[in-house]
């Protein structure tokens, strides 16, 4: 990886985010409106969302979002450009979300991951997430199950992976 930097996602990132989104989640891509709505709930002390992008020389190469309306947080999305898989970018983004959850004093972080996505599941396991259930046919129209994973948080000073 060259000089990849993480920063807060802003509204002007949405077109580049959508391009990656459509490539990486072709069956269930979020729309422009969904990202706008998510960002409306991010930032500031009252914000219940935390959205980050990764840039390499000004090019957007990844993004991730956490929802933390209560002390239970959710990984809402996480994605890295295919050219960056295996470079540590996915784990860096996940680390950023867990830092945000720790900063907000969250007790646990949950997520849904497609049962046919072993790569993402492996990353989550490495960060201490454990499968706690399955939602049958959660992803439609493909009718793919969601694996629900959970990780307990133990305060700000912990290490993740
Ligand atoms: C999920 C994602 C962010 C992970 O980033 P990444 O850079 O690929 O992650 P890494 O390569 O560090 O980790 C993937 C792990 O899966 C392993 N892996 C790779 N291919 C695999 C496969 N076919 N089966 C099982 N494990 C696999 C890797 O070896 C690695 O595990 P290790 O560190 O124990 O060796 C990235 O793959 C991505 O953007 N995917 C598309 C979007 C997506 O699926 N997001 C998750 C939605 S829940």
Which residue from 122, 127, 128, 131 has its CB within 8 A of the most atoms of ligand 1, so it is best to mutate?
Answer: 122
**In the prediction, which pLDDT does 45 show?**
72
Per-residue pLDDT, 44 = 76
Alpha helices in the chain (DSSP H): 14-24, 32-40, 89-103, 118-126
Distance, CA of 70 to chain centre: 17
Helix (H, G, I), strand (E, B) or coil at 120: helix
Tally of residues, the chain: 161
The token pair at 159 is 């290490």
Rg (CA), the chain: 15
How much is the pLDDT for 46?
81
Residue having the nearest C-alpha atom to atom 13 of ligand 1: 123
145, with CB counted inside 10 A (0-12, 13-18, 19+), is middle
Residue numbers in the chain where pLDDT is lower than 70: 1-2, 156-158, 160-161
pLDDT for 158 equals: 67
pLDDT score of 156: 60
Phi and psi at residue 67, in whole multiples of 5°?
Answer: -110, 130
Pocket of ligand 1 (CB under 6 A): 24, 78-80, 85-86, 89-91, 113, 117-120, 122-123, 126
83 burial via Cβ count (<10 Å: 0-12, 13-18, 19+): exposed
For the chain, list the domains and their CATH numbers: 4-152 (3.40.630.30)
């Amino acid at each position: 990886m060259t000089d990849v930097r993480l920063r807060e996602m802003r509204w002007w990132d949405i077109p580049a985010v959508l391009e990656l989104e459509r490539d990486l989640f072709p069956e269930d891509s979020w729309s422009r409106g969904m990202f706008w709505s998510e960002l409306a709930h991010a930032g500031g002390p009252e914000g219940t969302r935390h959205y980050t992008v990764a840039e390499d020389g000004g090019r957007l190469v990844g993004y991730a979002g956490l929802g933390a309306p209560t002390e239970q947080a959710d990984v809402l999305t996480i994605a890295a450009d295919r050219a960056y898989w295996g470079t540590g970018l996915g784990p860096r983004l996940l680390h950023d979300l867990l830092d945000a959850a720790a900063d907000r004093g969250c007790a646990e972080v949950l997520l849904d991951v497609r049962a046919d996505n072993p790569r993402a599941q492996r990353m989550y396991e490495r960060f201490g997430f454990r499968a706690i259930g399955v939602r049958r046919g959660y992803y439609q129209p493909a009718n793919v199950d969601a694996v629900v994973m959970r990780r307990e948080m133990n305060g700000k000073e912990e290490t993740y992976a």
